[in-house]
Amino acid sequence: MTIKPVPAFEPPYLMAVFSSVRTADDSGYPETSDRMEELVREIPGFLGYESARTPGGLGITVGYFRDHDALARWRQNLEHQAAMKRGRADWYESYTLHIASVERSHGFERNG
């Protein structure tokens, strides 16, 4: 598998930045995370996501959405809502969500 950033898209589009610190409770988290990835990819207007976790435990996931309708469909998905509730109850010590409009986007990829 080749590791690459999500490509640049033609603006405007939205990004949802989810920063979190997890609890020690991992029960059910990997399966739920995999299921959320399956679900979000089905949403028209979902462009992609990137995720990383520091050795100290700060996690950052950035999801890219074409418009507010696509982001609203994700937020309103019933399985996603259940996962968010479980996250607050079991998996997260703290989190922050930022929604931003992307006004400029470009990328670089080395050839060869």
Measuring CA to CA, which residue among 61, 66, 48, 64 is closest to residue 12? 66
Average pLDDT over residues 92-102: 98
Gap between the Cα atoms of 74 and 42, Å rounded:
10
Under DSSP, the state recorded for 111 is: -
pLDDT tens by residue, 47-59: 999 999 999 999 9
Residues 6+ apart with CB under 8 A from 106: 8
Q: For the whole model, what pTM was predicted? A: 0.92
How high is the pLDDT of residue 112? 55
How high is the pLDDT of residue 111? 82
Q: Are 60 and 18 in contact (CB under 8 A)?
A: yes
Question: What does 7-65 look like in DSSP terms, one character per residue?
Answer: PP-PSPEEEEEEEEEE-S--TTHHHHHHHHHHHHHTSTTEEEEEEEE-TTSEEEEEEEE
pLDDT tens by residue, 3-48: 899 999 999 999 999 999 999 999 999 999 999 999 999 999 999 9
pLDDT tens by residue, 75-91: 999 999 999 999 999 99
